[in-house]
Structure 1
Amino acid sequence: MGKNACALWFILYTLRELLKFVDTHADDKKTPKDLMLAFAKKLLAMDPSDLVRKPTEMFLRTAIRSFPYHNSLLFQTLAKSVAKVEFGQLPTTYMLLLQGLYGVRYVETSRFCATCGISSATKQCPKCKLPYCSADCQRFDWPIHKKCCEAISKRPLPGGDTATYIELNEDKLKDVKIED
Protein backbone atom coordinates (compact mmCIF):
# COMPACT_ATOMS: atom_id res chain seq x y z
CA MET A 1 0.00 0.00 0.00
CA GLY A 2 1.43 3.31 -1.08
CA LYS A 3 0.90 6.92 -0.28
CA ASN A 4 -2.02 7.20 -2.70
CA ALA A 5 -3.91 4.43 -0.90
CA CYS A 6 -3.30 6.18 2.41
CA ALA A 7 -4.46 9.55 1.06
CA LEU A 8 -7.56 7.91 -0.40
CA TRP A 9 -8.23 6.24 2.94
CA PHE A 10 -8.32 9.61 4.70
CA ILE A 11 -10.73 10.95 2.09
CA LEU A 12 -12.96 7.88 2.46
CA TYR A 13 -12.79 8.00 6.26
CA THR A 14 -13.71 11.70 6.27
CA LEU A 15 -16.64 11.16 3.93
CA ARG A 16 -17.92 8.27 6.05
CA GLU A 17 -17.72 10.32 9.24
CA LEU A 18 -19.36 13.29 7.53
CA LEU A 19 -22.24 11.11 6.31
CA LYS A 20 -22.67 9.63 9.80
CA PHE A 21 -22.83 13.15 11.23
CA VAL A 22 -25.36 14.28 8.62
CA ASP A 23 -27.49 11.15 9.18
CA THR A 24 -27.52 11.54 12.96
CA HIS A 25 -28.47 15.22 12.71
CA ALA A 26 -30.96 14.91 9.86
CA ASP A 27 -33.86 15.65 12.23
CA ASP A 28 -32.44 19.11 13.00
CA LYS A 29 -34.30 20.62 10.02
CA LYS A 30 -31.02 21.88 8.56
CA THR A 31 -29.90 21.56 4.98
CA PRO A 32 -27.14 19.05 4.18
CA LYS A 33 -24.82 21.99 3.46
CA ASP A 34 -25.48 23.47 6.92
CA LEU A 35 -24.85 20.07 8.50
CA MET A 36 -21.55 19.72 6.63
CA LEU A 37 -20.47 23.15 7.85
CA ALA A 38 -21.46 22.15 11.39
CA PHE A 39 -19.30 19.03 11.04
CA ALA A 40 -16.33 21.18 9.97
CA LYS A 41 -16.87 23.59 12.87
CA LYS A 42 -17.05 20.64 15.25
CA LEU A 43 -13.64 19.44 14.01
CA LEU A 44 -12.13 22.93 14.33
CA ALA A 45 -13.24 23.51 17.93
CA MET A 46 -10.53 24.73 20.28
CA ASP A 47 -10.24 26.08 23.81
CA PRO A 48 -7.83 28.89 24.75
CA SER A 49 -5.76 26.47 26.83
CA ASP A 50 -5.28 24.00 23.93
CA LEU A 51 -2.09 23.76 21.89
CA VAL A 52 -3.91 21.86 19.15
CA ARG A 53 -7.47 21.47 17.94
CA LYS A 54 -8.34 18.38 19.97
CA PRO A 55 -11.34 17.23 17.90
CA THR A 56 -9.21 17.32 14.73
CA GLU A 57 -6.42 15.54 16.55
CA MET A 58 -8.77 12.79 17.75
CA PHE A 59 -10.34 12.50 14.30
CA LEU A 60 -6.98 11.99 12.57
CA ARG A 61 -5.66 9.61 15.21
CA THR A 62 -8.81 7.51 14.86
CA ALA A 63 -8.47 7.56 11.07
CA ILE A 64 -4.90 6.31 11.33
CA ARG A 65 -5.90 3.62 13.83
CA SER A 66 -8.70 2.42 11.54
CA PHE A 67 -6.53 2.31 8.40
CA PRO A 68 -7.21 -1.20 7.05
CA TYR A 69 -3.67 -2.07 5.91
CA HIS A 70 -1.74 -2.38 9.16
CA ASN A 71 1.14 -4.15 7.42
CA SER A 72 1.93 -1.17 5.19
CA LEU A 73 5.14 0.69 5.94
CA LEU A 74 3.36 4.05 5.85
CA PHE A 75 0.80 2.95 8.44
CA GLN A 76 3.50 1.58 10.74
CA THR A 77 5.53 4.76 10.37
CA LEU A 78 2.55 6.99 11.11
CA ALA A 79 1.43 4.87 14.05
CA LYS A 80 4.90 4.98 15.64
CA SER A 81 5.28 8.72 15.07
CA VAL A 82 1.85 9.58 16.45
CA ALA A 83 2.32 7.28 19.45
CA LYS A 84 5.39 9.29 20.49
CA VAL A 85 3.38 12.51 20.79
CA GLU A 86 1.15 12.91 23.83
CA PHE A 87 -2.42 13.76 22.89
CA GLY A 88 -2.91 17.52 22.76
CA GLN A 89 0.77 18.29 22.31
CA LEU A 90 2.78 19.42 19.29
CA PRO A 91 3.49 18.41 16.58
CA THR A 92 -0.06 17.79 15.42
CA THR A 93 -1.10 14.51 13.88
CA TYR A 94 -1.90 16.49 10.73
CA MET A 95 1.73 17.60 10.44
CA LEU A 96 3.01 14.07 11.05
CA LEU A 97 0.60 12.76 8.43
CA LEU A 98 1.81 15.33 5.91
CA GLN A 99 5.42 14.44 6.70
CA GLY A 100 4.66 10.79 6.03
CA LEU A 101 2.82 11.48 2.78
CA TYR A 102 4.90 14.30 1.29
CA GLY A 103 8.15 14.46 3.22
CA VAL A 104 9.61 16.56 5.98
CA ARG A 105 10.95 19.24 3.65
CA TYR A 106 7.48 19.94 2.23
CA VAL A 107 6.06 20.39 5.72
CA GLU A 108 8.94 22.62 6.82
CA THR A 109 8.68 24.91 3.80
CA SER A 110 4.89 25.24 3.59
CA ARG A 111 2.43 27.33 5.58
CA PHE A 112 -0.79 25.41 6.16
CA CYS A 113 -4.15 27.15 6.50
CA ALA A 114 -5.50 26.76 10.04
CA THR A 115 -8.97 26.07 8.66
CA CYS A 116 -8.73 23.99 5.49
CA GLY A 117 -5.12 22.82 5.66
CA ILE A 118 -4.11 23.99 2.18
CA SER A 119 -0.34 24.39 1.95
CA SER A 120 -0.24 27.84 0.40
CA ALA A 121 -1.60 30.04 3.18
CA THR A 122 -0.64 33.64 2.42
CA LYS A 123 -2.79 35.48 4.96
CA GLN A 124 -2.58 35.44 8.72
CA CYS A 125 -4.26 36.67 11.85
CA PRO A 126 -2.69 40.07 12.55
CA LYS A 127 -2.39 39.34 16.26
CA CYS A 128 -1.25 35.71 16.64
CA LYS A 129 -0.02 35.07 13.07
CA LEU A 130 -2.13 31.92 12.61
CA PRO A 131 -2.07 31.28 8.83
CA TYR A 132 -5.10 31.28 6.54
CA CYS A 133 -5.38 30.77 2.79
CA SER A 134 -8.27 33.20 2.32
CA ALA A 135 -10.57 35.63 4.03
CA ASP A 136 -13.30 32.99 3.74
CA CYS A 137 -11.31 30.50 5.83
CA GLN A 138 -10.47 33.19 8.37
CA ARG A 139 -14.15 34.21 8.61
CA PHE A 140 -15.23 30.58 8.98
CA ASP A 141 -12.74 30.07 11.82
CA TRP A 142 -13.38 33.42 13.52
CA PRO A 143 -16.07 32.27 16.03
CA ILE A 144 -13.61 29.68 17.34
CA HIS A 145 -10.41 31.67 16.86
CA LYS A 146 -11.58 34.84 18.63
CA LYS A 147 -11.77 32.88 21.91
CA CYS A 148 -8.21 31.57 21.51
CA CYS A 149 -6.32 34.33 19.67
CA GLU A 150 -5.05 36.09 22.79
CA ALA A 151 -3.89 32.79 24.32
CA ILE A 152 -2.23 31.67 21.08
CA SER A 153 -0.33 34.94 20.70
CA LYS A 154 1.05 34.70 24.25
CA ARG A 155 1.90 30.99 24.46
CA PRO A 156 5.20 30.50 26.23
CA LEU A 157 7.91 28.33 24.75
CA PRO A 158 9.40 25.71 27.08
CA GLY A 159 12.32 28.08 27.82
CA GLY A 160 9.96 30.72 29.22
CA ASP A 161 10.02 33.08 26.22
CA THR A 162 6.80 34.06 24.50
CA ALA A 163 6.23 32.97 20.92
CA THR A 164 3.52 32.91 18.32
CA TYR A 165 1.66 29.75 17.38
CA ILE A 166 3.73 29.52 14.20
CA GLU A 167 7.06 29.79 16.02
CA LEU A 168 5.91 27.21 18.54
CA ASN A 169 4.89 24.80 15.77
CA GLU A 170 8.15 25.32 13.88
CA ASP A 171 10.17 24.85 17.05
CA LYS A 172 8.44 21.54 17.84
CA LEU A 173 8.57 20.27 14.25
CA LYS A 174 12.36 20.67 14.08
CA ASP A 175 12.75 17.96 16.72
CA VAL A 176 10.23 15.40 15.42
CA LYS A 177 10.81 13.57 12.18
CA ILE A 178 8.99 10.63 10.66
CA GLU A 179 10.93 7.42 11.21
CA ASP A 180 11.88 5.24 8.27
Structure 2
Amino acid sequence: MSPNSKPGLRADASRNTARLLAAARELITEAGPEVALDEIARRAGVGNATLYRHFPTRADLLVAVYRDEIADLCRCGTEPAGSEPPLDALFTWLDKFVVHVATKRPLALAASAGPGDRHTPLFAEWHTSITAAAGVLVERARTALRPDVTTTDVLTLATGLALATGADGEHAHHLVALLRSGLASRSADADRA
Protein backbone atom coordinates (compact mmCIF):
# COMPACT_ATOMS: atom_id res chain seq x y z
CA MET A 1 0.00 0.00 0.00
CA SER A 2 1.47 3.38 -0.92
CA PRO A 3 1.50 6.13 1.69
CA ASN A 4 -1.08 8.15 -0.22
CA SER A 5 -3.61 5.31 0.16
CA LYS A 6 -3.39 4.94 3.95
CA PRO A 7 -6.83 4.95 5.51
CA GLY A 8 -7.62 8.00 7.59
CA LEU A 9 -5.25 10.47 5.92
CA ARG A 10 -6.71 13.95 5.79
CA ALA A 11 -7.46 15.14 2.28
CA ASP A 12 -4.65 17.74 2.34
CA ALA A 13 -2.17 15.21 3.72
CA SER A 14 -3.15 12.74 1.01
CA ARG A 15 -2.71 15.44 -1.66
CA ASN A 16 0.69 16.39 -0.24
CA THR A 17 1.82 12.77 -0.26
CA ALA A 18 0.68 12.33 -3.85
CA ARG A 19 2.47 15.55 -4.89
CA LEU A 20 5.65 14.48 -3.09
CA LEU A 21 5.62 11.07 -4.78
CA ALA A 22 4.97 12.62 -8.21
CA ALA A 23 7.78 15.16 -7.74
CA ALA A 24 10.14 12.47 -6.45
CA ARG A 25 9.33 10.21 -9.41
CA GLU A 26 10.04 13.03 -11.88
CA LEU A 27 13.25 14.19 -10.23
CA ILE A 28 14.58 10.68 -9.69
CA THR A 29 13.99 10.02 -13.40
CA GLU A 30 15.84 13.23 -14.28
CA ALA A 31 18.69 13.17 -11.74
CA GLY A 32 18.77 9.75 -10.09
CA PRO A 33 17.94 8.57 -6.58
CA GLU A 34 20.48 10.92 -4.95
CA VAL A 35 18.43 14.00 -5.90
CA ALA A 36 18.25 16.58 -3.10
CA LEU A 37 15.21 16.10 -0.88
CA ASP A 38 14.84 19.90 -0.67
CA GLU A 39 14.40 19.95 -4.45
CA ILE A 40 11.67 17.29 -4.22
CA ALA A 41 9.81 19.35 -1.61
CA ARG A 42 10.20 22.50 -3.72
CA ARG A 43 8.89 20.80 -6.87
CA ALA A 44 5.95 19.35 -4.90
CA GLY A 45 5.13 22.83 -3.60
CA VAL A 46 5.47 21.85 0.06
CA GLY A 47 7.90 22.66 2.83
CA ASN A 48 10.70 20.41 4.01
CA ALA A 49 8.81 19.72 7.25
CA THR A 50 5.91 18.32 5.23
CA LEU A 51 8.27 16.06 3.27
CA TYR A 52 9.88 14.72 6.46
CA ARG A 53 6.51 14.27 8.15
CA HIS A 54 5.43 11.96 5.31
CA PHE A 55 8.84 10.41 4.58
CA PRO A 56 11.21 10.66 7.57
CA THR A 57 14.19 9.33 5.59
CA ARG A 58 15.37 9.25 1.99
CA ALA A 59 14.97 5.46 2.12
CA ASP A 60 11.28 5.83 3.07
CA LEU A 61 10.69 8.06 0.05
CA LEU A 62 12.62 5.81 -2.35
CA VAL A 63 10.75 2.74 -1.12
CA ALA A 64 7.39 4.48 -1.63
CA VAL A 65 8.30 5.59 -5.17
CA TYR A 66 9.67 2.19 -6.18
CA ARG A 67 6.79 0.29 -4.55
CA ASP A 68 4.41 2.19 -6.83
CA GLU A 69 6.61 1.40 -9.87
CA ILE A 70 6.53 -2.32 -9.04
CA ALA A 71 2.77 -2.27 -8.47
CA ASP A 72 2.23 -0.64 -11.89
CA LEU A 73 4.49 -3.15 -13.63
CA CYS A 74 2.85 -6.14 -11.96
CA ARG A 75 -0.64 -4.79 -12.65
CA CYS A 76 0.25 -4.63 -16.36
CA GLY A 77 1.18 -8.31 -16.17
CA THR A 78 -1.84 -9.56 -14.29
CA GLU A 79 -4.39 -7.38 -16.08
CA PRO A 80 -3.38 -7.63 -19.76
CA ALA A 81 -5.66 -6.39 -22.51
CA GLY A 82 -8.56 -8.83 -22.81
CA SER A 83 -8.43 -9.29 -26.56
CA GLU A 84 -4.67 -9.63 -26.85
CA PRO A 85 -3.50 -13.20 -27.59
CA PRO A 86 -1.55 -14.67 -24.65
CA LEU A 87 1.81 -14.74 -26.45
CA ASP A 88 1.38 -11.09 -27.48
CA ALA A 89 0.41 -10.17 -23.91
CA LEU A 90 3.57 -11.84 -22.59
CA PHE A 91 5.83 -9.97 -24.97
CA THR A 92 4.02 -6.66 -24.52
CA TRP A 93 4.72 -7.03 -20.80
CA LEU A 94 8.32 -8.11 -21.43
CA ASP A 95 8.87 -4.90 -23.40
CA LYS A 96 7.66 -2.95 -20.34
CA PHE A 97 9.76 -5.11 -18.02
CA VAL A 98 12.93 -4.52 -20.07
CA VAL A 99 12.38 -0.75 -20.02
CA HIS A 100 11.64 -0.94 -16.28
CA VAL A 101 14.87 -2.81 -15.51
CA ALA A 102 16.94 -0.57 -17.78
CA THR A 103 15.59 2.69 -16.38
CA LYS A 104 14.62 1.91 -12.77
CA ARG A 105 17.62 -0.17 -11.72
CA PRO A 106 19.39 2.65 -9.80
CA LEU A 107 16.14 3.39 -7.93
CA ALA A 108 15.57 -0.31 -7.19
CA LEU A 109 19.08 -0.70 -5.82
CA ALA A 110 18.86 2.50 -3.76
CA ALA A 111 15.43 1.58 -2.38
CA SER A 112 16.47 -1.94 -1.40
CA ALA A 113 20.05 -1.40 -0.23
CA GLY A 114 20.85 -2.64 3.21
CA PRO A 115 24.07 -2.60 5.23
CA GLY A 116 27.13 -3.90 3.42
CA ASP A 117 25.50 -3.77 -0.02
CA ARG A 118 23.01 -6.43 0.99
CA HIS A 119 19.43 -6.23 -0.19
CA THR A 120 16.66 -5.65 2.32
CA PRO A 121 13.68 -8.02 2.49
CA LEU A 122 11.85 -5.57 0.21
CA PHE A 123 14.07 -6.65 -2.68
CA ALA A 124 12.92 -10.26 -2.26
CA GLU A 125 9.29 -9.12 -1.93
CA TRP A 126 9.50 -7.10 -5.16
CA HIS A 127 11.30 -9.92 -6.97
CA THR A 128 8.57 -12.33 -5.89
CA SER A 129 5.85 -9.95 -7.16
CA ILE A 130 7.50 -9.58 -10.56
CA THR A 131 8.08 -13.32 -10.85
CA ALA A 132 4.42 -14.00 -10.01
CA ALA A 133 3.19 -11.52 -12.64
CA ALA A 134 5.51 -13.02 -15.26
CA GLY A 135 4.44 -16.51 -14.23
CA VAL A 136 0.78 -15.70 -14.94
CA LEU A 137 1.69 -14.48 -18.42
CA VAL A 138 3.97 -17.44 -19.17
CA GLU A 139 1.29 -19.91 -18.13
CA ARG A 140 -1.36 -18.16 -20.23
CA ALA A 141 1.00 -18.36 -23.23
CA ARG A 142 2.16 -21.91 -22.40
CA THR A 143 0.77 -23.54 -25.57
CA ALA A 144 2.53 -20.97 -27.76
CA LEU A 145 5.91 -21.38 -26.04
CA ARG A 146 8.54 -24.03 -26.39
CA PRO A 147 7.70 -26.73 -23.82
CA ASP A 148 10.97 -26.31 -21.92
CA VAL A 149 10.57 -22.54 -21.29
CA THR A 150 10.17 -21.49 -17.65
CA THR A 151 9.28 -18.19 -16.05
CA THR A 152 12.82 -18.00 -14.70
CA ASP A 153 14.19 -18.46 -18.24
CA VAL A 154 12.03 -15.64 -19.55
CA LEU A 155 12.93 -13.21 -16.75
CA THR A 156 16.63 -14.05 -16.85
CA LEU A 157 16.82 -13.48 -20.60
CA ALA A 158 14.77 -10.26 -20.43
CA THR A 159 16.87 -8.92 -17.54
CA GLY A 160 20.04 -9.68 -19.50
CA LEU A 161 18.64 -7.74 -22.46
CA ALA A 162 17.79 -4.78 -20.24
CA LEU A 163 21.22 -4.67 -18.64
CA ALA A 164 22.97 -5.07 -21.99
CA THR A 165 21.05 -2.31 -23.74
CA GLY A 166 20.78 0.17 -20.89
CA ALA A 167 18.53 3.09 -21.75
CA ASP A 168 18.51 2.32 -25.49
CA GLY A 169 14.80 1.46 -25.73
CA GLU A 170 14.75 0.80 -29.46
CA HIS A 171 17.57 -1.73 -29.24
CA ALA A 172 15.90 -3.38 -26.24
CA HIS A 173 12.60 -3.72 -28.14
CA HIS A 174 14.45 -5.23 -31.09
CA LEU A 175 16.14 -7.77 -28.81
CA VAL A 176 12.81 -8.66 -27.16
CA ALA A 177 11.43 -9.39 -30.65
CA LEU A 178 14.41 -11.67 -31.28
CA LEU A 179 13.83 -13.31 -27.90
CA ARG A 180 10.25 -14.02 -28.94
CA SER A 181 11.54 -15.94 -31.97
CA GLY A 182 13.65 -18.13 -29.73
CA LEU A 183 11.02 -18.81 -27.06
CA ALA A 184 7.94 -19.32 -29.20
CA SER A 185 7.09 -22.81 -30.34
CA ARG A 186 7.44 -23.49 -34.05
CA SER A 187 3.66 -23.71 -34.41
CA ALA A 188 3.19 -20.26 -32.81
CA ASP A 189 5.71 -18.81 -35.25
CA ALA A 190 3.90 -20.47 -38.15
CA ASP A 191 0.58 -18.98 -36.93
CA ARG A 192 2.09 -15.46 -37.03
CA ALA A 193 3.39 -15.83 -40.60
Structure-1-length-normalised TM-score? 0.30
Larger radius of gyration: 2
Structure-2-length-normalised TM-score? 0.28
